[in-house]
Amino acid sequence: MDKNIRIAIVGGGPAGLSAAMYLEKKGYDNYVIYEKTDHVGGKCHSPVCNGKRYEMGAIMGVPSYFAVHDVELFAGVTHDGPKLNRNYKYPDGRPDYRFDTEAARKNPTAFFFKHPKAALHMKKMAKQIKQFGNLLETKYKGYDVTGHIGVSEGRYEGFAVAEDRHPVKGVNPNLKDLALPFKEFCEKNGVPLVQEVWVQPFTSFGYGYFDEIPAAYVLKYLDFRTMMDFVNVNLWTWKDGTQSIYEALNAHLKHPALLKSNIEKVVRGEKVTITVNGKEEVFDKIIVTAPLQVATEKNPLINPIAKSLDTWFDVNDEERALFSKIDYERYDTIACKIKKGFYPDVSYYIVDNMVPERLGHLMVYYRRWKDEPDQPIVTYALRHHRTANGGKEIAYEDCDKMVLQDMETVGCHVDKPIYRFQTYYFPHVYSEDYAAGWYEKVEAMQGKNNTYYAGEIMSFGDMDETIEYSHDLVERFF
């Protein structure tokens, strides 16, 4: 491809900024990034309170975040943030020892005598986790390759989860099982207890419930290595917040994102004409990292952040048929000042609230800064679950009240909320569409009408998978 072509990138989050970075690395300098808000980073959003940044979106990384590390090297930043830790509570505030692996490792005999039921449960769970790791490595070889190309057809094609990210491809009919909801996938393989561990960085971080989300998404994000890093609290954080990674990346690009860019219309033909802030600009190619969802009467897109794609993009029939299948999660965070004397010692996970029956309840309250009671504690709640009757959704205001009440119940008494964050979160398709080849059909459209699709929906909604897909896209097509 001609290195002088003019490329438009829609979106200044991790996907769009990293697409520009990878394009630059391959010699493509003639690009423009349009970002509709007044800042870069997307859901990596780190506001400031009393001189320190806290997290309203992405929190952490792990050593296998090779794509994030690409950005760190390019932008001159490193994971220099506070060390994280966590404990567990039941919804009524009692301590939950079922996942206290640190105490069990330090003195297993004492742990067994103090918490015999938790110890036995932990032993059963550990056995199934080991079994699961072996299954993923053998029966489901290729499960962790970047993106979803070929999975519904029983094959894999993409880049390996390795530092060099070498290209890999192969045939494995068992990969078709990844279209199953993760709950069904685990039960099929005789390892139901692994859900209690995988749910902690999955459902609590807003990615939906295991009875509705295809296993492919769960395992693209939480491959076995990544999950074990989470279990062992082998985590990365950034002193100035996850948003600082992308602020630094943007500052190091030859053409930083144009903020407050309101795209009103995109018309594609031999060229791509974009009307932005009332002015027409002409490009050779467009990379769309903004939400691709097209609203329908059955599946409306009612979100304070995202607009239906067809309100600004010349969506064709093929795109409409596919992108109308996308749904997203209603996931909200609240930053709270805590009353004096009630600042928590660590972050707390409430695993029993990470099930559909507890929709809308507090799942995690997150403490970023140790011994800093002037810093906010951030709460996390999901308020949407897909059911046979079309879905259950709790109103934002009702969920807000439930969460604040839950904080009182668990003993972390709120002085006042200081910031609420709503996003268009984790776009995905459901099992029937995944199994029917949704990803293969979208990948077959790449390049048509001078258009390329990237962003969360094309792989997964965490920052590493999103960046990794931008790397994959640039390697394949530019």
Q: What is the CATH number of the domain that holds 176?
A: 1.10.405.20
Closest by CA to 274, choosing from 4, 87, 9, 82, is 9
Query: What is the predicted pLDDT for the residue at 104?
Result: 61
Q: 203 and 346 in one domain?
A: no
For position 317, which CATH number holds?
3.50.50.60
Residues making up the chain, counted from first to last: 478
Rounded to 5 degrees, what are φ and ψ at 461? -90, 5
Q: Is 445 exposed, middle or buried (0-12, 13-18, 19+ CB in 10 A)?
A: middle
Contacting residues for 316 by C-beta, under 8 A, at least 6 apart: 449
Strand residue runs (E) in 389-473? 392-393, 414-422, 425-428, 451-453
Q: 141 and 107 in one domain?
A: yes
In a domain, 81, yes or no: no
Q: 450 and 322 in one domain?
A: yes
Task: Note every long-range contact of 404-408, with CB atoms under 8 Å and residues 24 or more positions apart, other chains counting.
Answer: 404/334, 404/336, 404/379, 406/91, 406/350, 406/353, 406/361, 406/362, 407/336, 407/362, 407/365, 407/379
**Residue keyed to tokens 């668990």:** 410
Contacting residues for 156 by C-beta, under 8 A, at least 6 apart: 141, 142, 143, 145, 149, 150, 168, 169, 170, 172, 175
In a domain, 53, yes or no: no
d(C-alpha 42, C-alpha 13), whole Å: 4
C-alpha triplet 5, 10, 15: angle, nearest 5°: 100
In a domain, 28, yes or no: yes
Q: 438 and 391 in one domain?
A: no
Closest by CA to 249, choosing from 234, 260, 238, is 238
Q: 435 and 308 in one domain?
A: yes
Rounded to 5 degrees, what are φ and ψ at 66? -65, -35
pTM, rounded to two decimals:
0.94
| Residue ranges making up the domain that contains 172 | 97-231
In a domain, 83, yes or no: no
Q: 21 and 107 in one domain?
A: no
Which of 172, 199, 231 marks a domain boundary? Answer: 231
d(C-alpha 44, C-alpha 463), whole Å: 8
3-state secondary structure of 394: coil
In a domain, 458, yes or no: yes
Record the tokens describing residue 320, joined without a space: 């409409």
In a domain, 278, yes or no: yes
Record the tokens describing residue 218, joined without a space: 């769960």
For position 360, which CATH number holds?
3.30.70.1990
Reported as type and span, the H/E element at residue 331 is strand 331-338
Query: What is the predicted pLDDT for the residue at 119?
Result: 78
Domain count, the chain: 3
**Residue keyed to tokens 């459209």:** 445
Q: 28 and 118 in one domain?
A: no
Query: What is the predicted pLDDT for the residue at 157?
Result: 93
In 10 A of CB 203, how many CB atoms? Answer: 27
Closest by CA to 381, choosing from 421, 342, 344, is 421
Which of 231, 255, 284 marks a domain boundary? Answer: 231
Query: What is the predicted pLDDT for the residue at 103?
Result: 64
Q: One digit per residue, pLDDT tens: the chain, 478 residues?
A: 899 999 999 999 999 999 999 999 999 999 999 999 999 999 999 999 999 999 999 999 999 999 999 999 999 999 999 999 999 999 999 999 888 777 667 666 766 667 788 778 888 888 999 999 999 999 999 999 999 999 999 999 998 888 888 999 999 999 999 999 999 999 999 999 999 999 999 999 999 999 999 999 999 999 999 999 999 999 999 999 999 999 999 999 999 999 999 999 999 999 999 999 999 999 999 999 999 999 988 788 888 788 999 999 999 999 999 999 999 999 999 999 999 999 999 999 999 999 999 999 999 999 999 999 999 999 999 999 987 566 789 999 999 999 999 999 999 999 999 999 999 999 999 999 999 999 999 999 999 999 999 999 999 999 999 999 999 999 999 9
Q: 422 and 436 in one domain?
A: no
d(C-alpha 365, C-alpha 335), whole Å: 9
Q: 462 and 373 in one domain?
A: no
Q: 448 and 418 in one domain?
A: no
In a domain, 2, yes or no: no
Which of 386, 402, 427 marks a domain boundary? Answer: 427
**Residue keyed to tokens 């110890």:** 119
Q: What is the dihedral of CA 46, 48, 53, 58, to 10 degrees?
A: -20
3-state secondary structure of 189: coil
Query: What is the predicted pLDDT for the residue at 110?
Result: 67
C-alpha triplet 78, 81, 85: angle, nearest 5°: 135
Query: What is the predicted pLDDT for the residue at 100?
Result: 74
In a domain, 60, yes or no: no
Q: 264 and 193 in one domain?
A: no
Phi-psi sector, 300: left (phi>0), alpha (psi -120 to 50), beta: beta
Strands 347-349 and 86-88: parallel
Query: What is the predicted pLDDT for the residue at 297?
Result: 82
Q: 275 and 208 in one domain?
A: no
